[in-house]
Every structure is written in C-alpha cells, then in structure tokens.
Structure 1
Amino acid sequence: MLLSLAEGERHGYALKRDIARRTNGKVNLAAGALYGSISKMLAQGLIEESDERPDPHLDDERRRYYRVTAFGRQVAQAETARLRELVDIATARFGRPVPAEGHS
C-alpha cells in the first residue's frame, strides 16, 4: 500500500486495483483486509486521510483518499533496505536465480 501511495493519493478501491496490477493478480485484497489494513496504517501514522478531493463531478463524495506520511516513507525506506539485504544474502549463498523454463 505504501508503494502505491508513494505515487500519489488514492482511495481504497484504487489501492486494491493498483496492488492487484502490481502483483499480476497474485494479491487481490478482500474489502475487509483492505480497509482493516488502511485502519491500522492510519492508527500507526503511516498514512493519513487527505483533505483534498478531485473534481466532485468526477468522483463519489463517499470516497476517502489517503496519502503516505513522512513517517510512512521512512518505514518504507527501512523495509526496502531490509529486503535488499535479504536478497544480497540469498544471492551470496545461492547465486543469482536462473529463470525456470517451462515451469509456472
């Protein structure tokens, strides 16, 4: 979600669609999981609700828009560094992954 919001403000359903697109459909959040995650991230200060709204003629007034906070960016950067370190360790131990041919 933070990766999606790093590109700009989004409402919940737009987050759901973007996450599905980024994962080639492998992650398709149900409404409960999506809004539960949004609620937790709001409480943790990772994201905040935006006061800005698109043109009312182009949007549903019930939608809530979210954006990543400065703290959320710091958390995402720390997680990126942690994952990069794990990939470096795995690469050192196992070598670079070889693309699987004929395997799904």
Structure 2
Amino acid sequence: MVSNNESIALTEAVYYILLSLYEPLHGYGVMQKVEGLSSGRVKLAAGTLYGAISTLLQKGWICALPGDTNSRKKEYEISSIGKSVINNEINRLRELLTNGEQIVGGDL
C-alpha cells in the first residue's frame, strides 16, 4: 500500500530512474538507461542522479544491492514500494491523458 506521500507527481528524472531500476544497475548504467528510454531527451548529470538516488534510498523506493566491497560501483534496484509508486504515477498520467483527449480530442 502506498501512503499519500508516495502518490505525489514524480519528476521526469525520478520517474525514469525508477523505471531503469527494474533491473539492477549502477549509477552510470542508470544514466545510460534513462537517456535511452527517453530517446536522448533526458540526460542526467551525476549530481542530479546521486542526489535522487540518496532520496529514493531514504524513502525506501529503491535499495542498494550487496556487492563487492572492493568495488566503488554500487548497484541499485527498485523496491516493492517503488513499484507501487510507479504504478500510481502511470495511472495518474493515464488520467491526465484521458482528460486532455476528452477536451482537445484524440487526433493531436
């Protein structure tokens, strides 16, 4: 179950970071995946990415995977809470699209 705090609108960066973490990835992998998913439109700077990762870890939306203690690369993966957040966001976006199409028309 997702609390009210977790059903807020997501930024594009957070949305794409969560989507990219449906498979375990390290930071640079996330940056590449987000750029690929968005067809190059969204490019994450390292500071933006690692700030978001820190926040997502605190919220419990992603988790750090145990890894090689000698490696600086940490891998992350979306949590079950994060998956609920993504599902809520997809439903919110679907509602926005439906409402827009009803008013403007579907032939944009």
Runs of 4+ in 1 over 3 A off after TM superposition: none
Change (3 A) 1:62 1:70: same
Output the CA distance in 2 between the equivalents of 1:93 and 1:28: 32
**CA deviation vs aligned residue, 1:27-60 (integer Å, no higher than 9, x gap):** 111110010000100011100001156xxxxxx8
- TM-score, L = length of structure 1: 0.82
The match for 2:88 among 70, 73, 78 is 78
Q: Does 1:30 align with 2:45?
A: yes
Change (3 A) 1:95 1:71: same
Sequence identity percentage? 35
Aligned residues: 91
Larger radius of gyration: 1
Structure 2, unaligned runs of 5 or more? 1-16
Amino acid at match of 2:48: A
> Alpha carbon RMSD of aligned pairs, Å?
1.4
2:86 aligned counterpart, secondary structure: helix
Matching of residues 1-104 of structure 1 within 5 Å: 1-6=17-22, 8-52=23-67, 61-98=71-108
Match of 1:57 in 2: none
Change (3 A) 1:52 1:61: closer
Output the CA distance in 1 between the equivalents of 2:28 and 2:107: 34
